[in-house]
């Protein structure tokens, strides 16, 4: 089975590319969604996060309020590192269970694992290749403000914490430019998919 790391930056179009791969028949695993799962009550990271960050991160219903948690770690690298140490291991375990099950049923399949920080964490090394979704910094700004309702200052702060897309290009085996139409991005994704089908790692 071929393991593909799909990454990008804030609002760079990686989710659109991921959906395109899924429509082409690939398994799509979103690490951010798995992060949501492990933080749910009963999830593998719930108790540890509560113990580390206290009851102030809980909503009225007893679930972890992700916005409250994000507010505690945003701009505080030491706190963010603590959170990552708690959340990342169970997310990786859950992802491996999903990938292992898929590989048994589809030994020559293609699994695309989407995450914003594959490169920053070094996790990309666990995959056969890296696909990078890119657009212009101006488009990242516009899309994030429109999608998230964030202020320009908030988006700039989030972008400042990420590796620039141009720097990420050094790690990418394939680059998909999402700065144009969705149709153009879909055509590029299909072209990359056809190259992935030919990679020998699919059969290892």
β 110-114/129-134 pair status: unpaired
Write phi, then psi, for 16 (nearest 5 degrees). Answer: -65, -45
Average pLDDT over every residue of 92-100 = 97
Domain boundaries, the chain: 1-26+109-204, 32-106
pLDDT at 158 over 90: no
pLDDT at 64 over 80: yes
pLDDT for 56: 92
Run of H or E residues at 131: strand 129-134
Average pLDDT over every residue of 38-43 = 94
pLDDT for 89: 95
Average pLDDT over every residue of 88-95 = 96
Q: Kindly report the CA angle at 204 between 196 and 192, in degrees rounded to 5?
A: 5
Angstrom CA distances, 97 to 100, 114, 126, 171, stand at 5, 16, 15, 26
Read off the pLDDT band of 146 (50, 70, 90). Answer: confident
pLDDT for 18: 98
187: left (phi over 0), alpha (psi -120 to 50) or beta: alpha
Q: How far apart are CA 158 and CA 14, in angstroms?
A: 16
pTM: 0.92
Lowest mean per-residue pLDDT among 110-114, 187-191, 200-204:
200-204
pLDDT for 148: 78
Fold agreement between 1-26+109-204 and 32-106: yes
> pLDDT per residue over 121-135, tens digit each?
999 999 999 999 999
Domain 1-26+109-204 falls under CATH 3.40.50.300 = yes
pLDDT for 16: 96
Average pLDDT over every residue of 145-160 = 84
pLDDT at 204 over 80: no
Mean pLDDT across the chain: 94
- Classified as helix, coil or strand, 161 is coil
Average pLDDT over every residue of 149-157 = 84
Tally of CB atoms within 10 A around 25: 11
Residue that is written with structure tokens 């430019």 in the block: 177
Domain 32-106 falls under CATH 3.30.530.20 = no
pLDDT at 42 over 90: yes
């Amino acid at each position: 089975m071929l393991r593909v790391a799909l990454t990008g930056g804030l609002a760079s179009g990686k989710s659109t590319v991921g959906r395109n791969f899924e429509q082409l028949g690939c398994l799509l695993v979103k690490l951010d969604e798995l992060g949501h799962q492990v933080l749910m009550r009963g999830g593998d990271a719930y108790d540890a996060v509560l113990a580390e960050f206290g009851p102030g991160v809980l909503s009225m219903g007893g679930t972890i309020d992700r916005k409250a948690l994000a507010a505690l770690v945003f701009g505080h690298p030491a706190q963010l590192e603590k959170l990552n140490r708690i959340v990342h291991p169970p997310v990786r375990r859950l992802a491996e269970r999903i990938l292992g099950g898929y590989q048994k049923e589809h030994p020559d399949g293609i699994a695309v694992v989407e995450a914003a920080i594959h490169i920053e964490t070094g996790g990309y090394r666990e995959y056969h290749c890296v696909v990078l979704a890119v657009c212009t910094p101006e488009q990242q700004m516009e899309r994030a403000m429109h999608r998230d309702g964030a202020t320009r200052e908030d988006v700039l702060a989030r972008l400042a914490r990420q590796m620039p897309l141009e720097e990420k290009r050094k790690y990418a085996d394939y680059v998909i430019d999402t700065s144009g139409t969705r149709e153009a991005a879909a055509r590029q994704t299909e072209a990359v998919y056809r190259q992935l089908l030919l990679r020998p790692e699919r059969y290892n």
